[in-house]
Amino acid sequence: MPVSGSTSLTPNQTNIAATAVFLARIGWHGPTFEAPASLPLLQAAELAGQSLASSCRNGTCRTCMCQLVSGQVVYRIEWPGLSAEEKQAGSILPCVAYPASDVVLRLSS
């Protein structure tokens, strides 16, 4: 079932300033951290002291996969290791997903 209010974009669908800084939240009531447009969400979370699951950090292993509950992300690699159906359902790979707006993430349990 598609997640309303969340989107994965391609780089040519955005015109985000490289210096933009968004707010990321883990869950609707969870911790927040600054998410610069210039950093993958995983790296921004780690810089803010938030620990997210990861392994390859290049979009292939899917260890970091989580749900984008709200907001938009953009990928700078052509295919970030998600099926079209997974992307449609709101799954993202934060190791290679850059924020394009404020975002809310739901981590896999």
Classify strands 21-26 and 66-75 as parallel, antiparallel or unpaired: unpaired
Any contact of residue 45 with ligand FES (CB under 6 A)? no
CB of 58 to ligand FES, least distance (A): 6
Distance separating alpha carbons of residues 66 and 64, to the nearest angstrom: 6
In order, the DSSP letters of 73-90 are EEESSS--S--HHHHHTT
Binding mask 53-72 for ligand FES (x = CB under 6 A): -xxxx-xxxxxx--------
Any contact of residue 93 with ligand FES (CB under 6 A)? yes
C-beta closer to ligand FES: residue 14 or 60: 60
Structure tokens at 59: 């979009």
**Contact (CB, 8 A) for 96 and 40:** yes
Any contact of residue 41 with ligand FES (CB under 6 A)? no
| Binding site residues, ligand FES, CB under 6 A | 54-57, 59-64, 81, 93, 95
